[in-house]
Amino acid sequence: MYKEEIIKFLSNYGLNSNVSGLISSALIIISISVIVFAINFITRNIILSFFKRIAKSTSSTFDDLLIKNKVPRLLSFIPSLFFLYLIIPTYTDNLIIIIEALTILLFIVTVKSILSTVKDYFKLSPSLKHIPIDSYIQVIMIFLWFIGIILILSVLTGREIGTFLASLGALSAIILSLIHISEPTRQEA
């Protein structure tokens, strides 16, 4: 977007193209980082003040537990990731894969915090204390992490999920057949 203009500006002052290219890349990275930190700071303050205002106005402890489990803080990363998702493709397409993986990871961690809030709420409520919510949450989190890791690996490898799962199935079949082939030699020894 502005990289060529910065290189041209620096080249007019006598810097060669390699040095001006490095300086322009550094300036772009620094400016994007400052914008991302500013967006994160502003949205964190807005979301946290919104949640605190709601927590003060209600008698429920659920919203207090949301703040304790850092759900508003995790939600404040969404605008920063959205900004990066919009701005990074104008400079390079390679980093978009990392941003997509970070988005999946942020989703998993946010759901984990929300489930921790539900668990804490169940433990505080006298009528819900007897329900074994820990086991249910653990099963949900195992399932969520399994799907999340599959999605992250699919994004990082650039394969569709179906193709990626088929590749994993074929790889496991090859490994199992290698184990099966090597078993008779173990029994003979």
Residue 187 has pLDDT above 60, yes or no: no
**pLDDT mean over 147-162:** 87
**pLDDT mean over 142-155:** 90
Residue 185 has pLDDT above 70, yes or no: no
**pLDDT mean over 94-106:** 88
pLDDT grade for 163, boundaries at 50, 70 and 90: confident
- SS3 for the chain is CCHHHHHHHHHHCCCCHHHHHHHHHHHHHHHHHHHHHHHHHHHHHHHHHHHHHHHHHCCCCHHHHHHHCCHHHHHCHHHHHHHHHHHHHHCCCCHHHHHHHHHHHHHHHHHHHHHHHHHHHHHHCCCCCCCCHHHHHHHHHHHHHHHHHHHHHHHHHCCCHHHHHHHHHHHHHHHHHHHHHHHHHHHHC
Please write the tens of the pLDDT for every residue from 38-95: 999 999 999 999 999 988 898 888 888 889 999 999 999 999 999 988 888 766 777 8
pLDDT grade for 182, boundaries at 50, 70 and 90: low
Please write the tens of the pLDDT for every residue from 128-143: 778 888 888 999 999 9
Write down the pLDDT at residue 188.
52
Average per-residue pLDDT in the chain? Answer: 85
Residue 148 has pLDDT above 60, yes or no: yes
CA distances from 152 to 69, 105, 146, 178 (A): 24, 8, 10, 28
Q: Which residues contact 171 (CB under 8 A, 6 or more apart)?
A: none
Write down the pLDDT at residue 126.
82
Residue 1 has pLDDT above 70, yes or no: no
pTM > 0.85: no
Q: Which residues contact 11 (CB under 8 A, 6 or more apart)?
A: 17, 20
Write down the pLDDT at residue 80.
92
